[in-house]
Amino acid sequence: MVKKSISAKIYPGLRPNESIRVLISDARVKTRLKQLAKEIRRDFPKESLHLIGVLKGSVFFLTDLARELGGEVSFDFLSVSSYGQGTDSTGEVKLIKDLDVSIEGKTVVVVEDILDTGLTLKYLLRFFEEKKPKHLRVVVLLDKVERRIADVHADYTGFVIPNEFVVGYGLDFDERYRNLPDVCVLQFASQGKAKSA
């Protein structure tokens, strides 16, 4: 399959030293989302599901998934930031915005945009487990399996992707590109591929 490149004409936000190409089209994302929703509902057919989105990357994923799930669904968001960006990341995570409502006794599905080293998810799982949900599951849209450091996994995974820096469908580079409908690989002219930190 020929991978579609996106020019500055199509996406005016593109900077001169950056190029993007579609990795997963929005149509493929939507199709996979329906399947993920079915998988989750198969496991919890009658349960009220409480989705927790990790801001901001998971916003489109969560809202699209919520509409595919059917049945009773509520949601909440939290925001975290990693201390120490880069390859020497300590894995310490700082809570920026806490949950609005208690998750005790609820069937919780954590909705993450991308699983990279897994350090953020490891922190989040510990944080949520302490709050005694009835069930705790994780759904991720994208999984860079080869980057994993922490021993964590998602219960439901949209796509396993190679170690390339991706933007679009909520994912950003420096707060840009979140509004691209497709999941795209971002590359820099001077540096070649932008690998995640």
Nearest to residue 79, comparing CAs of 117, 112, 108, 102? 112
CB of 91 to ligand IMP, least distance (A): 8
Q: Is 35 in the site for ligand IMP (CB under 6 A)?
A: no
CB of 139 to ligand IMP, least distance (A): 13
Helix axes 59-69, 26-43, angle to 10 degrees: 50
Q: Is 74 in the site for ligand IMP (CB under 6 A)?
A: no
Active site (annotated) includes residue 26:
no
Q: How many residues bind ligand IMP (CB under 6 A)?
A: 15
CB of 144 to ligand IMP, least distance (A): 6
Nearest to residue 169, comparing CAs of 55, 17, 57? 57
**DSSP 8-state assignment for residue 80:** E
Which one of 166, 180, 183, 184 is in contact with ligand IMP (CB under 6 A)?
166
Nearest to residue 149, comparing CAs of 128, 135, 165, 163? 163
Nearest to residue 4, comparing CAs of 21, 28, 27, 25? 21
- Stretch 97-116 residues interacting with ligand IMP (CB under 6 A): 112-116
| Chain residues that interact with ligand IMP, rule: CB under 6 A | 57, 112-121, 165-166, 171, 196
Q: Among all residues, which ones are annotated catalytic? A: 116
